[in-house]
Amino acid sequence: MIDINVCGTFIATQAALKHMNDCGRIINIGSCVGERIMMPGLVPYSATKGAIKMFTQGLSREAGSRGITVNNHPAGSNRHRSESCSGRLGSTAKGKHSAQSLQAR
């Protein structure tokens, strides 16, 4: 699980950044389970998705100087990140992100 969810994301992102123009976009696949463990037995999965969340936040600060936006999208959800685990629907219309927008300022 670590090889696929964490190492795979890191290696693919590293390769993409070498070829990405300024003002590009990276969207990582996260999960609200990465913020809290929802069921017994999900500890390893939760840990890897938590790692992706932190990787996304760190990368956004590094890539922001190139104008690259980095987002963490909760898989299987069109809900806004802050509402993705609460059951309330968010909006993706009119420029609102369905992902956690982490563009560095």
Give the tens place of pLDDT for each residue, 45-66. 888 998 999 999 999 999 999 9
State how far the Cα of 78 lies from the Cα of 36, in Å rounded to an integer: 19
What residue segments make up the domains of the chain, in order of their start? 2-14+22-101
Residues with a known catalytic role: 45
- Looking at residue 92, its pLDDT comes to 29
State how far the Cα of 99 lies from the Cα of 18, in Å rounded to an integer: 24
- Looking at residue 37, its pLDDT comes to 67
pTM for this structure?
Answer: 0.67
Phi, psi of 27 (to 5 degrees): -125, 115
Q: What confidence tier does 101 reach under pLDDT thresholds 50, 70, 90?
A: very low
> What is the architecture, at CATH level 2, of domain 2-14+22-101?
3-Layer(aba) Sandwich (3.40)
* Beta-sheet pairing, 100-101 with 69-74: antiparallel
Q: Number of H helices and number of E strands within the chain?
A: 3, 3
Q: What is the pLDDT of residues 81-94, one digit of tens each?
A: 443 333 332 222 22
With a cut of 50, say whether residue 40 has pLDDT above it: yes
